[in-house]
Amino acid sequence: MEILKKYPKLFQWLFLLIVFFALCFAIDVPETYKFIRGQAEFVKDPNQSTFVFLGKEVRYYAFDVFWRLPPLLGWLPIWINDSLFFLMNDWMPMEFWNEDTQEYKTRPLVLQITRNLTAFMTFLIELIREILLGGLETIVAFTSWDWIDANPWAELPGLPWTIVAAGSAILAYKLGGRGLAIFAGLAMTYISIFGQWKPSMQTLSFILVAAPLSFIFGLSLGIAAFKSKRVEKALYPILLVMQTMPQYAVLVPALVLFGVGDHAAVIITMIVAVPPMILLTLLGLRAVPPEVIEAGRMSGCNNWQLMFKVLIPTARRDILIGVNQVIMVCFSMAVISAFIGAKGLGFNLLLALNQLNIGLALEAGLCISLIAILLDKMSLAWANKQVDYFGNLNFFQRNKNSLFFGLIMIVGIALAYFGSIYFKGGYNYLFEVPHNKGISTADFWNKGVDWIFDTFFVYIKAFNTWLIVEVLQPMRALYLRMPAIATIVLVVGAGYLIGGIRSALVVCGLTLFIALSPWWDRALVTTYMATFGVIVSCIIGFTVGTLCFQNKHSTKFMLNVCDIFQTFPSFVYLIPVMMLFGITDTSVLIAVIVYATIPATRYTIEGLRSVPSGLHDAATMSGVTKFQRLFKIEFPLAFPHMMLGLNQTIVFALFMVIIGAFIGTEDLGQYILKALSDKKGAGIGLTLGICVAFIGLIFDNLIRTWVDKRKKHLGID
């Protein structure tokens, strides 16, 4: 009784758990219930129930309402899909002039707009791509195919790889000094020599369009939200959902709107990359000290100058993190959008993974990661650059970089010309090393994988079986055994205990949406995989983070490792795990664990670092041991920040679980992947995406509310 009086919350939580388990035991599994494996909704099974809403017929297996709620929202995907098609094909037909056929054509408005948009994107991508690789499209865009036929000389020649590599090294030198230059030169040379030049440049051209556009849009929307409360209020829910929406899910509706290809990929990438940019811009602008703004005003800034010369540069740190995020998302999408026909490394990577050619996949993945790290470091160096006003330089010193580039240009062209004579009839290796004609280490890796399999097969297999049979299957069965009503009671109860009635209502709404969709079972599987991943990640991340924090050098080292790992596109993580564990749930889960451990570790370290040094000293002077200090001072104070890490860990885990569908899982991701190849998949894909986003948001809401309260209680910021 003493304990209950001391910790009233504890009693409430206990009560909630008792109610939850009571419900679980009280409601039996219906005899007819089984986990639906196939796409049963397309089979007319006489056992199914139906209802009609808004003219859409929804078929489903009915159970006791306490066990599983009926899919009352089952019409939503169909409705979304039909609306999209109506919008694209029938709404507002208008007359448009067609350049190619030289006549007016009737086209629906939305279709015309999206086609114009995609044409513009295509032009941008092709322009950069042809500067790097050569081609016709850009010139065609200004003239016509007839003109090209008449003038066969008119073709962008493309740059020899030597020039691009040296050029990027010079740019890196100008931005970040010698170290970065060496890295840039080596990375580019590696890409070329190992025969990945063409796909790499395709990917690069895609990113050089997508990243700046996302940055500009994100920044402007962020500014708009900063200036106007109304814009912010309108954007906020979208931003929230987009943050936890798996990138896969956006592919499907975009497929309908923008078609297939690089241009669609750019637009999707923007949809995914802009929200974090907006959020971070807003965050940064908010954090600018009021006196700095006043100083700007007193210097006589007008609104424009105040924004671009005072506010944005002062908020630079957060905005840079935004840029970093944009680049990360772009590379991630460069791979994922290969599903809808974007060319480049991502496409090769997917192809190789599909063929289980781990070696090839590894090479492509390495190239993507190299370019990602390079661009990330260069953008950072660019933002930190300093101007030298006082250097008394002559013309050559001032323009040495441009002059040097000019020289490289000449040498590169000369080399390429020399190569065209030397390698007569064959491939001109000094111009471009053709794909798969470079050095390839694929065989080596494949043999390595085979060797690993031959040598360790027994152990891996044993581990795999043990994990699946002893841990994963029971856990999955437990999750599926939860009656819907019990789950809802648990989640809503938690919401009420943490954040009061408001939080409870929000969480209830989010859960109900999933429960009323046709995919509750799948959502449970997704949650189980994510939970498993998160628990293991947190244990690893908190431990590693705490250990690394004991020493200044290891702290710095670990943060750098996190930085680099975070730059890898998420898909790349699938390569090594497939290498080791083949195509099983274990692979997915290990990828999830590796990927989600990054934020767990990072936030642990940052949380511990944020503990004021005064407290640290005060504790030391009270004569605590290292362990006492850690457990009595540092952990309690760092805990709120670490919980934010948990939040990120959950989001990362969910993303990876969904991407894991590529290997083959039985959760929401699998359906999203299916929707990609389904003509009517747009609505399904989007609804599934929202379901996943809502799972993330439920945890997000609970954790954030708790953290805010806790921070207020502790008096931190």
Partner 1 sequence: MSEPVIKCESVYKIFGENAETMLKKANGNVDAKTFQENGCIVGVNNASFEVSKGEMLVVMGLSGSGKSTLLRCISRLTDATGGKIFIEGQDLLNLNNKELIDLRRNKMGMVFQSFALLPHKTVVENIAFPLQIKGINTGESINKAMDMVKLVGLDGRENYFPRELSGGQQQRVGIARSLAVEPDIWFLDEPFSALDPLIRKEMQDEFLRLQEKLQKTIMFITHDFDEALKLADRIAIMKDGIIEQLDTPANIVLNPATEYVRKFTEEVPREKVLLIKDVMDSPTTENIGDLKVLRDEIIENVAEKILTQEKTVAVIDNNNNIVGSINPTKIINTVFGGRKNSN
Alpha carbon distance 96, 107 (integer Å): 7
The candidate with the shortest Cα–Cα distance to 589, out of 670, 656, 668, 522, is 656
Give least dist CB 70 to partner 1, A. 49
Of the pair 14, 295, the CB lying nearest partner 1 is at 295
Task: Report, in Å, the least distance between residue 174 CB and partner 1.
Answer: 19
Q: Which amino acid is at 224?
A: A
Backbone angles phi, psi at 198, to 5 degrees: -60, -55
Least Å from the CB of residue 319 to partner 1: 11
| Residue closer to partner 1 (CB basis): 105 or 385 | 385
Instruction: Kindly state the smallest distance separating residue 627's Cβ from partner 1, in Å.
Output: 35
Instruction: Give the DSSP letter string of 637-659.
Output: HHHHHHHHHHHHHHHHHHHHHHH
Q: Report, in Å, the least distance between residue 322 CB and partner 1.
A: 16
CB 287 to partner 1: min, Å: 12
Report the nearest approach of partner 1 to the CB of residue 379 (Å): 15
On whether the CB atoms of residues 214 and 269 are closer than 8 A, the answer is yes
Closer by beta carbon to partner 1, 159 or else 311:
311
Beta carbon nearer to partner 1, 308 or 631: 308
Least separation in angstroms between CB 320 and partner 1? 11
Nearest alpha-carbon partner for 574 in 352, 372, 269:
352
Task: Give the DSSP per-residue string, 182-201.
Answer: HHHHHHHHHHHHTT-HHHHH
Q: Which CB atom, from 3 or from 387, has the smaller least distance to partner 1?
A: 387
Q: Which residue type occupies 674?
A: K
490, 504 Cβ separation under 8 angstroms: no
Question: Which of these, 472, 469, 464, lies nearest to 530 by C-alpha position?
Answer: 472
Residues in the chain: 717
Please state the closest distance from residue 310 (CB atom) to partner 1, in A. 7
Nearer to partner 1, 287 or 714 (CB): 287
Give the residue with the Cβ less far from partner 1, 92 or 292.
Answer: 292
- Rounded CA gap, 126 and 715, in Å? 54
Least distance (Å) between residue 308 CB and partner 1: 11
CB closer to partner 1, 99 vs 291: 291
Minimum gap (Å) between residue 289 Cβ and partner 1: 7
Q: Output the smallest distance, CB 318 to partner 1, in A.
A: 12
Q: Are 578 and 353 in contact (CB under 8 A)?
A: yes
- The separation between the first and the last C-alpha atoms of the chain, rounded to the nearest angstrom, is 36
Rank residues 312 and 506 by Cβ distance to partner 1 and give the closer one.
312
Phi, psi of 460 (to 5 degrees): -60, -45
Check: CB of residue 195 under 8 Å from CB of residue 435: yes
Name the site residues for partner 1 (rule: CB under 8 A).
289, 291-292, 294-295, 297-302, 305, 309-310, 313-314, 316, 386-387, 389-390
CB distance 163 to 412 below 8 Å: yes
- Listing DSSP states for 305-374 in one string gives HIIIIIIHHHTHHHHHHHHHHHHHHHHHHHHHGGGGT--SHHHHHHHHHHTT-HHHHHHHHHHHHHHHHH
Q: Is-contact 395 340, C-beta < 8 A?
A: no
- What distance in Å separates the CA atoms of residue 30 and residue 53, rounded to the nearest whole number? 27
Q: Given the complex with partner 1, which of 230 and 309 has the nearer CB atom?
A: 309
How many whole angstroms separate alpha carbon 567 and alpha carbon 379? Answer: 13
- Least Å from the CB of residue 150 to partner 1: 50
Q: What's the closest the beta carbon of residue 510 comes to partner 1, in angstroms?
A: 35
In the complex with partner 1, which residue's Cβ is closer, 59 or 316?
Answer: 316
**Is the Cβ of residue 284 or residue 569 nearer to partner 1 in the bound state?**
284
Distances (CA, A) of 295 to 230, 310, 436: 27, 9, 59
List, in order, residues 6 or more apart from 169 with CB less than 8 Å away.
181, 182, 184, 185, 188
Query: From the DSSP assignment, how many helices (H) and strands (E) are in the chain?
Result: 32, 4
**H/E element, 577:** helix 574-581
Q: Name which of 388 and 454 has its Cβ closer to partner 1.
A: 388
Nearer to partner 1, 390 or 459 (CB): 390
